[in-house]
Amino acid sequence: MNPTDTPLPFAELHLHVEGTLEPELVMALAERNAVTLPYDDVDALRRAYSFTDLQSFLDLYYANMAVLRTPEDFADMTRAYLTRAAAGGVRHAELMVDPQAHLVRGVPLEVVLEGVTPVLATSEAEHGVSTLLFAAFLRDRPEDEALEVLDRLVAAGAPIAGIGLDSAEVGHPPSDFTRLYARARAEGLRLIAHAGEEGPASYVTDALDLLGVQRVDHGIRSLDDDAVVERLVAEQVPLTVCPLSNVALRAVDRIEDHPVLAMLDRGLNVTVNSDDPAYFGGYLDDNLAALERSLGMTADQRARLAANSIRSSFLPAARRDALLAEIDHPSAR
């Protein structure tokens, strides 16, 4: 706790809004929309939340999206996340949405945006959480499709701050998406991408050099290559690390083995995030609690993580500085 004993402000920078779909909400939306799921009850669905790798999670994550049909469904999901995140100390959230995952099952872009954007627009007033929205593109689908969706988002005036790249990583390198990122850059959009979650350290370098990303989602496999680590330290590239996610998807064996605090102490610009909190056992505050309990995270490390999260956000300077001022710690200055 900082000396004033108020909770430190955190920004959540790696969050898939579809990954906030709690089992209870999945079942409620299935009933509301008359969608048949292969689970008798919430407990049966909850038992399916056990994964062996990224793909085993993605299979369930995409299957559960079948219950999202109307703007109200997307709004309910988004509001539930913001309510829970605010209770856990999140003051700013940069959320990803996966437009292609909805388009391929016949849900138009307008439905997604009509649901998500009004809830984000009122979030600061209602929850004290400012927000930015990113359209994340599925790297296991063709770049041409992503380009077409980006054009439609831009033409529709969708209120997106930037683009990301997610889904199955290995075998789908950043080099497959250079035209997409060039187009987004020309539109003045912010650029982020998942890299080095399951894929090699070279994907992190390629995301920086070929796509021009300003922030890397995950990036933990950078640790396999000292030269990459040295570069990330020198350039202070923000890495949005997700400890509970990495354990749930077996990128890291146990939370006690998670490298995030060692990365922080090595000078990397790391932040802590929940990724898909409904699926991986917790929200941002649960991730921090796990680091405290299992890795002995100190108050100093917590304050540095808070400051990194605010500084690595795409917040306008005035709010960024106001939030940093709440962190009474040398690293926040």
Q: How far is the CB of 168 from ligand ADE (least distance, A)?
A: 7
- Which of the following is catalytic: 12, 197, 292, 326? 197
Tokens of 197: 């979650």
Q: How far is the CB of 332 from ligand ADE (least distance, A)?
A: 28
**Residue 258 is assigned to a ligand binding site:** no
- Ranked by CB distance to ligand ADE, the top (closest) residue is 166
State how far the Cα of 169 lies from the Cα of 167, in Å rounded to an integer: 6
C-beta neighbour count of 330 within 10 angstroms: 10
The answer to whether 54 and 249 are in contact (CB under 8 A) is yes
In the residue annotation, 22 being an active-site residue is answered as no
With CB under 5 A as the contact rule, the residue among 275, 283, 284, 312 that binds Zn ion is 275
**Residue 276 is assigned to a ligand binding site:** yes
Q: Which is nearer to Zn ion, 206 or 275 (CB)?
A: 275
Q: Which is nearer to Zn ion, 30 or 133 (CB)?
A: 133
Q: How far is the CB of 19 from ligand ADE (least distance, A)?
A: 5
What per-residue string of b and e applies to 246-270 under the rule 16 or more CB within 10 Å gives b? bbbbebbeebeebbbbebbeeebbb
Q: Which residues contact 259 (CB under 8 A, 6 or more apart)?
A: 220, 223, 252
The H or E element spanning position 165 is strand 162-166
**Residue 16 is assigned to a ligand binding site:** yes
Q: Which of 92, 93, 94, 25 is nearest to 65 (CA)?
A: 25
Q: Which is nearer to Zn ion, 37 or 170 (CB)?
A: 170
Burial of 296 (0-12, 13-18, 19+ CB in 10 A): exposed
Which residues are at the interface with ligand ADE (CB under 6 A)?
16, 19, 54, 61, 166-167, 194, 197, 245, 275-276
**Residue 127 is assigned to a ligand binding site:** no
Q: How far is the CB of 217 from Zn ion (least distance, A)?
A: 5
Residues in 143-182 at the binding interface with Zn ion, rule: CB under 5 A: none
DSSP secondary structure, 80-113, as one string: HHHHHHHHTTEEEEEEEE-HHHHHTTT--HHHHH
Instruction: Decide the pairing of beta strands 190-195 and 162-166.
Output: parallel
Q: Which does 167 bind (CB under 5 to 8 A by kind): ligand ADE, Zn ion, none?
A: ligand ADE
User: Can you say which residues are annotated as belonging to the binding site?
Assistant: 14, 16, 194, 275-276
What is the contact surface with Zn ion in residues (CB under 5 A)? 275
**Residues with a known catalytic role:** 197
User: Can you say which residues are annotated as belonging to the binding site for substrate?
Assistant: 276
User: Can you say which residues are annotated as belonging to the binding site for Zn(2+)?
Assistant: 14, 16, 194, 275
